[in-house]
Amino acid sequence: MPTVTVITGASGGIGAALARRLGHAGHRLVLGARRADALQEVAESITSTAIAVPTDVTVRAEVDALGRAALERFGRVDVWVNNAGRGLTAPVLALTDAQLDDMVTVNVKSALYGMQTIVPHFVERGEGHLINVSSFLARAPIASVRSAYSAAKAMLNSLTANLRMDLAQSHPDVHVTTIMPGLVSTEFAHNAGHEGPLAAASVAMGIQTPDEVADIIADVIARPRAEVYTNPNSVAVVRRYLEETGALG
């Protein structure tokens, strides 16, 4: 039976690459994003069944509607990927209320809406897989210009881990995964720019393509794990940060 997968932020970048990768593997896909035209183009480029549902993930009602559309079309959801997100360039002392609120809304509340929409369905079925796409910057805030983005992703990591703990004993077949990409060559990265420590990190770590990240997420769907860095070099960067700050004791 083909896997039914919902992907948010599917109109470009990692989301679009993942949709094409899973479509090639035969997944039935429900794709959500704000850019309706770009989203439809992605859906039409996929070889398996894929429907486009224009969705503003910062609006709870629209995320609920995305979930309903998937269930009405396919009768179930097996995998839900909260991939939508956006960055911001502003150090801590320059942040405005509006900027911080925007980062939390786009990167945290949108994923929370997805979790609260689909996990009850997984619990009822006794199985399912939730995947939240975060960032390695949530663990190693080495680029202070991404202050609010890093903080929001750290919050997402914590919420995801708490949900995983809530379900671990009562529903062991409901998997909850945090994906932490490093630097990826997406429209997100180009718009945000690379300067200072982030530029140095890009040289040290290397920049992945969306297709490379999509392949790793596809592997996680096939073999669920709790937390995954898509770039193996991220592990050394995070460990060095923790050692230098004394966080390891």
Residue from 113, 149, 229, 241 carrying the catalytic annotation = 149
Q: Find the Cα–Cα–Cα–Cα dihedral 242, 87, 190, 46, rounded to 10°.
A: 100
Assigned architecture for domain 4-245: 3-Layer(aba) Sandwich (3.40)
Instruction: Look up 113 and say whether it is catalytic.
Output: no
Question: How deeply is 222 buried, as exposed, middle or buried, from its count of CB atoms within 10 A (0-12, 13-18, 19+)?
Answer: exposed
CA 103 vs CA 75, 84, 203, 205, 229: distances in Å: 33, 12, 26, 25, 21
- In this predicted model, what pLDDT tens digit does every residue of 162-196 receive, in sequence order? 999 999 999 999 999 999 999 888 655 444 444 44
The reported pTM is: 0.92
pLDDT value for 205: 67
- Reading phi first (left if > 0) and then psi (alpha if -120 to 50, else beta), residue 65 is in alpha
Give the distance, in angstroms, between the CA of residue 110 and the centroid of all CA atoms in the same chain: 10
Tokens of 5: 């997968």
Q: Which residue has the tokens 């992945």?
A: 208
d(CA 82, CA 42): 17
- In this predicted model, what pLDDT tens digit does every residue of 15-73 receive, in sequence order? 999 999 999 999 999 999 999 999 999 999 998 899 999 999 999 999 999 999 999 99
